[in-house]
Amino acid sequence: MNEHALFSLLDLSGTFVFAISGAAAARQRGLDLFGIIAIAFVTACGGGIARDICIGATPPAALDNWRYLVLAAAGALAAIGADAWLNRLNQPVLLFDALGLSIFTVAGTQKVLFSGHNAEAAIVLGMISAVGGGMARDVLLNRLPVILQREIYASAALAGAAFVIAAHHFGWSAAWSTWPGIAACFGLRYLALRYRWNLPRFNPRQGGATP
């Protein structure tokens, strides 16, 4: 499999997984079918659209390729059809979100690199690819975005993107750096959820007027 085909496969796989995450969250809010599919698409494609606009890849792949819309709708329908199974999982939104986060981080970072941009842009836009859709989902569902909480979320994406950049720097091929990068991001996010690892939190000062 060549590199272009690998990145396309990862991008489409992440779209389907993130769509399940978005649809599961929308179901929890009691949205109708259109609302569930809309949230699934925004969750699955929002970050990739932002990334493509930033690197000048217009129109964005998610708006130019029918497969993204179909996979987002399929993910939404899968979440609806497998509702009983998802309810048996512990925190299904977070589980599928962690998997989508990992796939999109690596695929986004690789795409930015192969578009000719530098490592700094690849790391930042790789993270945006991964967290942008989830942020849009949470805002539309009137929830505090996970990225703004103290959970290790965006930092897991940054770690995965940094791993890909380091592997590229040391001459690893894209195929060799892809799967360890996904495992690094997913592993950090999963362990943070399991063991309740959090970033430092600073409480507001007590007393006195807030400037």
Cβ neighbours of 5 (radius 10 Å): 9
Cβ neighbours of 149 (radius 10 Å): 14
Taking the CA atoms of 73, 77, 83 and 86 in sequence, report the sign of the dihedral they define: negative
HSE-CB at 203 with a 13 A cutoff on CA atoms is: 3
Which of 127, 6, 24, 28 has its CA nearest to residue 75? 24
Q: How confident is the model at residue 149 (pLDDT cuts 50, 70, 90)?
A: confident
Average pLDDT, the chain: 85
pLDDT digits (tens, 9 = 90+) for 98-126: 888 899 999 899 889 888 899 999 999 99
Please tell me the predicted confidence (pLDDT) of residue 70.
Answer: 95
For residue 150, what are its two tokens? 């103290």
Using an 8 Å Cβ cutoff, are 96 and 17 in contact?
A: yes
Q: If 0-12 CB within 10 Å is exposed, 13-18 middle and 19+ buried, where does residue 105 land?
A: buried
Tell me: pLDDT of 44 over 90: yes
Output the pTM of the full model: 0.84
- Asked if the bond preceding 92 is cis, omega within 30° of 0, the reply is no
pLDDT digits (tens, 9 = 90+) for 179-190: 888 998 999 988
Please tell me the predicted confidence (pLDDT) of residue 210.
Answer: 45
With residue 114 as reference, give the H or E element that holds it. Answer: helix 92-114
